[in-house]
Amino acid sequence: MLEYVTSADDPRLDDYTRLRDMELRKSLEAERGLFLAEGEKVIRRSIGAGYPIRSVLTTERRLTPLADLLGDATVYVVSEEVMSGIAGFQVHRGALASMARLPLPPLEHLLGLSRLLVLEDLVDHGNVGAIFRSAAALGVDGVLLSPRCADPL
């Protein structure tokens, strides 16, 4: 369902606001049970991994490439200026999606895996992402993160 929004202050866009402050963003995402996916590729992969779409924020120009992904999702269409105002940066990948987090598997499930990678207190998102990609390439069965690790999503 398409909804045109003309103001960055519209309460329907609450999932997307205050993205400039990383500490605030991390706490709000966890509190709301969501994460933000940026760009068509990441949105497709998130959907493929089973994460439900809460909503999508995009511009008119970037709407068509996403059409097959959206189904019944609420899509907020904004101008380029409103998009930049919300994100605090130029969104080069054209879209942001608010995705619902899935429940974490029980610890017992992870302990039964043969190749488990444990990350302790890695706070750089780029490093965590690189390690996850390497783990996938090496066939690691699961990754366990300490509470102070950067959020991989």
Token pair recorded at residue 6: 């003309």
Query: Which pLDDT belongs to residue 12?
Result: 92
CA atoms within 13 A on the CB side of 113: 16
Token pair recorded at residue 122: 């890695």
Cα 24 from chain centroid (whole Å): 15
Kindly give the pairing relationship between strand 34-38 and strand 95-100: antiparallel
Query: Which pLDDT belongs to residue 65?
Result: 79
Count of CB atoms situated within 10 Å of the CB of 106: 9
Tell me how far CA of residue 62 lies from CA of 73, 109, 134, in angstroms: 16, 40, 31
Mean pLDDT across the stretch 21-36?
68
pLDDT digits (tens, 9 = 90+) for 46-86: 999 999 999 999 988 887 778 888 888 999 999 888 888 77
Tell me how far CA of residue 108 lies from CA of 53, 104, 119, 135, in angstroms: 28, 11, 17, 20
Contact 2, 60 (CB under 8 A): no
Using pLDDT thresholds of 50, 70 and 90, give the confidence band for residue 19. low
Give the SS3 label for residue 54: strand
Angle at 76 between CA 28 and CA 95, to 5 degrees: 75
Using pLDDT thresholds of 50, 70 and 90, give the confidence band for residue 28. low
Radius of gyration of the chain (CA): 17
Instruction: Specify the pTM.
Output: 0.78
91: enclosing H helix or E strand: none
